[in-house]
Structure 1
Amino acid sequence: MKSLALAGLVLLAAPVAADTDIFSLTGAERRAFQAEVRALLLDEPEIVRKALAPPPYQGGVYAEAAAADLDTLDTLKSQVLSGAKIALFVGEGCEDCARAIEELQVISETTGQEFILHDISDPAVAKVAETLEMDDLPFYVMSDRILRGWMPAMVLTRYLSED
């Protein structure tokens, strides 16, 4: 209910916001806005309560899934990485795949680190991608992580420099 009320307030304010710079309100606009926010917070005090006392971090909820993913990566490590630190999965119809390949080639030439290129048109590679539950291309695989989608060279270089 609270989020519905907040969403309603945002939707009602949208036409006004389109014509009003929220940071350049007149005195009358600022008072009207403050009155609306005050009324909402008085009607829905749970909004403030949640903001001041957020629920505890639920990272443990995903611990089992993360451990299972790492086990899967460990099982496939020799097949996917073949001794390299990073593997790139590409395929047809992938807009970012050529850019991902080029950036890894530059990183490889610059750092001397090799990478493995896998094309999912190969049925065995497609099976590995399925096992990893990855269907978006490109994606990168390292011994301890999977990176979904194209990554900038700066990000890849940082990950590759970790030991």
Structure 2
Amino acid sequence: MTPTRTLAAASLALAALAAPSQAFDIDAMSDAERSAFRSEIRSYLLDNPEVLMEAIGVLEAREAEAQATADADLVSSLGDEIFRDGRSWVGGNPDGDITLVEFMDYRCGYCRRAFPEVEQLLETDGNIRLVVKEFPILGEESLLASRFAISARLIAGDDAYKAVHDALITQRASVTTASLSKLADDLDLDGDAILAGMEAPLVTEEIRANHDLARKLDINGTPSFILEDEMLRGYVPLARMQELVAQVRADD
């Protein structure tokens, strides 16, 4: 930057500090002053493009902080629906000091990728409560799988749900009535009863309620997690999840 330009930039900064409302009131400037002001800003940014990246970084950090605050407020206002709906399957340590909620779809590739890592997180930590929200959004096979899993829980209990859930999230074959019947046989469950219960009002209501909750939380993809009051949209690697859990405990 030339000495003249440096002096001009410094003068602008001093003017802003001394009388910001006047220095940056564009409407109060004459056409010549406005043109000179804009020209100086442009010249400064061209000479110092790193300032743009710094400003963008600050803006992104502020937006992320604002989003986190908004998410925490939203989670707090919907706490009963998220953590204590009385329907969703609860795994891990039901009395854990931290609750992790997962919105998942059985046909979602990233949900399948997250599954063994969530399992490892629960096993190695031992003090995390997991709430699973059936959130079928990827077509008819997703809906069939969720209806079957929920029906299995209602008819055969939580252990049956866990077995069905684990089988469906790792299954690569298409989900059909025939494949679900075979799955029930493989798990020694009453497949006819579970299949017959898939259209029960309680099954439909649970899926509808999860979709309504997701809309309120602005969740439109899977997997999506809620770790205490923090929204985690998308797949989160195990190491990062462990860091976040440790951070939550440290903040308490």
The TM-score normalised by the length of structure 1 is 0.61
Q: How far is the alpha carbon of 1:135 from its aligned partner?
A: 0.6
Q: 1:70 to 1:96 in 2, by over 3 A?
A: same
Residues 24-49 of structure 1, C-alpha deviations (whole Å, 9 max, x = no match): xxxxxxxxxxxxxxxxxxxx773332
Q: Distance in 1 between matches of 2:235 and 2:64?
A: 24
Residue correspondence of structure 1 range 36-47 to structure 2 within 5 A:
46-47=45-46
Ranges in structure 1 where 5+ consecutive residues have no aligned partner: 1-43
Partner of 2:121: 107
Q: How far is the alpha carbon of 1:50 from its aligned partner?
A: 3.3
Q: Distance in 1 between matches of 2:125 and 2:106?
A: 28
Ranges in structure 2 where 5+ consecutive residues have no aligned partner: 1-42, 85-94, 137-206
Among residues 65, 84, 88, which one is paired with 2:102 in the alignment? 88
- Given that 2:103 and 2:224 are in contact with CA atoms closer than 8 Å, whether structure 1 keeps it comes out as yes
1:99 aligned partner, one-letter code: R
Q: How far is the alpha carbon of 1:154 from its aligned partner?
A: 0.7
Q: How far is the alpha carbon of 1:156 from its aligned partner?
A: 0.8
Residue correspondence of structure 1 range 51-66 to structure 2 within 5 A:
51-52=50-51, 54-55=54-55, 57-58=58-59, 59-60=61-62, 65-66=67-68
Q: 1:67 to 1:101 in 2, by over 3 A?
A: same
Q: 1:61 to 1:100 in 2, by over 3 A?
A: closer
Q: Percent identity?
A: 19
Q: How far is the alpha carbon of 1:99 from its aligned partner?
A: 2.3
Partner of 1:119: 134
- Given that 2:104 and 2:224 are in contact with CA atoms closer than 8 Å, whether structure 1 keeps it comes out as yes
Partner of 1:74: 76
Q: How far is the alpha carbon of 1:123 from its aligned partner?
A: 1.2
Instruction: Please say if 1:151 is aligned against 2:166.
Output: no
Q: 1:148 to 1:52 in 2, by over 3 A?
A: closer
Q: How far is the alpha carbon of 1:92 from its aligned partner?
A: 4.3
Q: How far is the alpha carbon of 1:95 from its aligned partner?
A: 1.0
- Given that 1:77 and 1:143 are in contact with CA atoms closer than 8 Å, whether structure 2 keeps it comes out as no
Partner of 1:97: 111
Q: 1:104 to 1:61 in 2, by over 3 A?
A: closer
CA RMSD of aligned residues (A): 2.7
Partner of 2:47: 48
2:103 aligned partner, one-letter code: F
Q: 1:55 to 1:76 in 2, by over 3 A?
A: same
Q: Distance in 1 between matches of 2:242 and 2:134?
A: 22
Q: 1:126 to 1:52 in 2, by over 3 A?
A: closer
**Which structure: larger Rg?**
2
Count of paired positions:
120
Q: Distance in 2 between matches of 1:152 and 1:107?
A: 10
Q: How far is the alpha carbon of 1:85 from its aligned partner?
A: 1.9
Q: Distance in 1 between matches of 2:245 and 2:48?
A: 43
Q: SS at 2:101's partner residue? A: strand
Q: How far is the alpha carbon of 1:64 from its aligned partner?
A: 5.5
Q: Distance in 1 between matches of 2:83 and 2:101?
A: 6
- Given that 1:85 and 1:160 are in contact with CA atoms closer than 8 Å, whether structure 2 keeps it comes out as no
Q: Distance in 1 between matches of 2:65 and 2:246?
A: 25
Partner of 1:26: none
